[in-house]
Amino acid sequence: MALGLTAVGLAGAGAGFAAGPSATSAGTYGTTAVVNLGLSTNQAKGMQAMLMAYDLDSSMVNDGALGPDSWKAMQQMLKWFHGYDGALDGVPGPKTIVALQRWLKEDWGYTGPLDGIAGAGTQAAFARAGSYYYQMFF
């Protein structure tokens, strides 16, 4: 299975879920924003652990909050394996989300379009990946 990363907002998240902006589309996020794209804290920790296992960002903290350092690592992974050609800026913009969708389509059952919008299908596939990596590393 190829490497992949995801970020998810927390719309409707209950206790035990990471705090952060709720986003269904890849808008412009600030350079300090936490953007979990619907992932729970544990799912985000799973993604961070996967990225750390590949030494993609030594400054990243495994805290379950996908901030700029986590997204930079994700962008690097997406660049290596899934056609990302944007800047390694830590901002999950449309190019990052398209590459994420490509990875999710290849490995995690995403069936939607490569449109750069982190909608429900993108978030569900990202959550599957996050759950898998959480179980793998914790």
pLDDT band at 21 (very low <50, low <70, confident <90, very high): very low
Q: Residues 111-137: pLDDT tens digits?
A: 999 999 999 999 999 999 999 999 999
16-43 mean pLDDT = 65
Token pair, residue 24, equals: 């269904």
User: Are the C-beta atoms of residues 22 and 119 closer than 8 Å to each other?
Assistant: no
Q: Residues 57-97: pLDDT tens digits?
A: 668 899 999 999 999 999 999 999 999 999 999 999 999 99
Give the pLDDT confidence score for residue 30 in this predicted structure.
61
Q: How many CA atoms lie within 13 A of 10 on its CB side?
A: 21
* Cα 24 to Cα 28: distance, rounded to the nearest angstrom: 12
What residue spans define the domains of the chain?
41-137
Q: How many CA atoms lie within 13 A of 79 on its CB side?
A: 13
* Cα 114 to Cα 50: distance, rounded to the nearest angstrom: 23
pLDDT band at 48 (very low <50, low <70, confident <90, very high): very high
